[in-house]
Amino acid sequence: MTQTRSSSVTNFDSWKHAYAARAANLSVSEVRALFSVVSRPEVVSLAGGMPDVSALDGALIEEAFNSMMASRRNYALQYGGGQGDLRLREQIQEIMLLDGVQGSVDDIMITTGSQHALELLADLFLDAGDVVMVEAPSYVGAVGIFRHKEAHIEHVFTDEDGISPEALAEAADRMTAAGKKVKLLYLVPNFANPSGVTLSAERRQQVLQVCKERGILIIEDNPYGLLYFENQPPKALRAFDSEGVVYLGSFSKILSPGLRVGYVLAPPAIRDKLILANESAILSPATFAQMLVSEYLSISDWKGQIDRYRNLYREKRDAALEALEQYLPRVQTTKPNGGFFLWLTLPQGLNSKEMLPLAVTELVAYTPGTAFYGDGRGANNIRVCYSHPTAENVKVGIKRLSKVINLQLDLLDTFRAE
């Protein structure tokens, strides 16, 4: 990654007396803390969840840009409406249909990436102490937002088939019995960040039922659904319930995260509040970026580009699984059918956070599992992101990682034998 944080930004002390109390919940995430390390060229980074934008056809992006400047320059350089551009919203309808989601253009709102949608929704629904239920583990960026809102983050048991509906019902009822307000369920049902797992079709129905019975709003975050390798994932939850599910999509993974264009399909009851919240936060989503995306969609074979990404990430996933089998047979891994991530469970006794400096010495970086929990769990997990390095470097990275892990295991074995 190229970003670095200026030291003046991280010096919180001089204005400590003036911060709102909730600012204490804003801390440097473990992923962000790695930025400066992973930008070194000799380090293979399996850390940040970045798409491989080198697979984009640059000439096509330029063509979209030129076409936008020729035909819509004044519009692109002007403020826009708070809900986002109508033509882009119509194009988004077509994209969502690929996930089985039908929605009116009136219910779609453009956001500055789906991260922004999460922030708006959390702000709209969560008072301090309210419960938001999430997968175990869950997306670090969402956990960070919920923590900042001083919500109670309840991780619910999740396995290879996604979140458990029984555990979800049990957790919701337990929280309610304890006098808490259970407001939201946040889910990444397809090729989840960080675990790579997909919620089964059967469980989707059960999860919908559990939430409907209890008046819990579902946030369905789906940035990876179109990047499947073998089989297309089951239909989105939103395809079965237009009132109880807020559906989030993004162009970050199917096109480019630099454009910062995402979208929400909201139940009509929520939509107007969301648009007001969007206007209050940013006046209007960036017209320039919206126009560029819209133009790109209209002049290019964007589905062909998604296929290119799918083939590329499949190759990298295969490289990662092959290398894990070869070099780290004692480590358990999920086997994602799409997306960017796989989730390792290390043998008992190893601590991924403590091991990270050693890994960096071996020139490989990863994200420790604790980043994906709000409650300190995940110490013997690692998220491996295979999307950005070349397939060859994914293998090199895992080989380097194996050196660190196997050394730790040997030490543990020796210690236990004594």
Judged by CB under 6 A, the chain residues 353 through 382 that form the site for ligand PMP are none
Q: Measured between alpha carbons, how far is residue 187 from residues 25, 230, 271 in Å?
A: 22, 22, 19
Return the residue of 250, 294, 334, 381 that touches ligand PMP, per CB under 6 A.
250
Cβ proximity to ligand PMP, 223 vs 267, nearer residue: 223
The answer to the question of residue 141 lying near ligand PMP (CB under 6 A) is yes
d(CA 294, CA 287): 10
- Helix ranges (DSSP H) in 98-224: 113-125, 140-148, 165-177, 201-214
Out of 188, 207, 286, 323, the only residue in the binding site for ligand PMP (CB under 6 A) is 188
With contacts defined by CB under 6 A, name the span among 35-43, 107-115, 195-203, 370-378 that binds ligand PMP. 107-115
Q: Token match 């059918």: residue?
A: 337
Residue 216: other Cβ atoms inside 10 A? 21
Q: Can residue 262 be called a binding residue for ligand PMP (CB under 6 A)?
A: yes
CA 417 to chain CA centroid, nearest Å: 42
Assess 103 for contact with ligand PMP (CB under 6 A): no
Cα–Cα distance between 143 and 378 in angstroms, integer? 14
Up-side HSE of residue 51: CA atoms within 13 Å toward CB?
A: 24
Residue 279 CB coordination number (10 Å): 14
First to last CA, the chain: 44
Q: Which residue is nearest to ligand PMP, using beta carbons?
A: 113
Q: For residue 86, give the nearest of 285, 245, 303 by alpha carbon.
A: 285
Nearer to ligand PMP, 68 or 261 (CB): 261
Told to check if 139 binds ligand PMP by CB under 6 A, we report: yes
**Checking DSSP bridges between strand 131-135 and strand 381-385, what pairing results, if any?**
unpaired
Region near ligand PMP per CB under 6 A, out of 6-14, 250-258, 301-309, 376-384: 250-258
Residue 265, token pair as written in the block: 């399909």
CB-wise, 121 or 172, nearer to ligand PMP?
121
If binding means CB under 6 A, how many residues of this protein chain bind ligand PMP? 14
Distance CA 389, CA 228 (A): 19
Candidates 109-117, 158-166, 271-279, 378-386: pick the segment binding ligand PMP (CB under 6 A). Answer: 109-117
**Residue selected from 115, 164, 287, 337 as contacting ligand PMP according to rule CB under 6 A:** 115
Pairing of strands 341-345, 364-365: unpaired
Q: How far is the CB of 285 from ligand PMP (least distance, A)?
A: 12
114 lies in the binding site for ligand PMP (CB under 6 A): yes
49 binds ligand PMP (CB under 6 A): yes
Interface residue with ligand PMP among 51, 82, 103, 113 (CB under 6 A) is: 113
Which sign, positive or negative, has the C-alpha torsion 202, 208, 213, 214?
positive
Q: Is the dihedral of CA 76, 82, 86, 88 positive or negative?
A: positive
Closest contact distance (angstroms) between CB of 221 and ligand PMP is 5
The answer to whether residues 105 and 83 touch, using CB atoms and an 8 Å cutoff, is: no
Q: Which of 223, 225, 267, 285 binds ligand PMP (CB under 6 A)?
A: 223
- Does 278 bind ligand PMP (CB under 6 A)? Our answer is no
In 3D space, the residue among 48, 32, 37 whose CA is nearest the CA of residue 360 turns out to be 37
Interaction between residue 163 and ligand PMP (CB under 6 A): no
Which is closer to ligand PMP, CB of 50 or CB of 412? 50
When asked if residue 172 is in the footprint of ligand PMP (CB under 6 A), the reply is no
Least distance to ligand PMP from the beta carbon of 96, Å? 15
Q: Shortest gap between Cβ of 353 and ligand PMP (angstroms)? A: 20
What residue ranges bind ligand PMP (CB under 6 A)? 49, 113-115, 139, 141, 188, 193, 221, 223, 250, 252, 257, 262
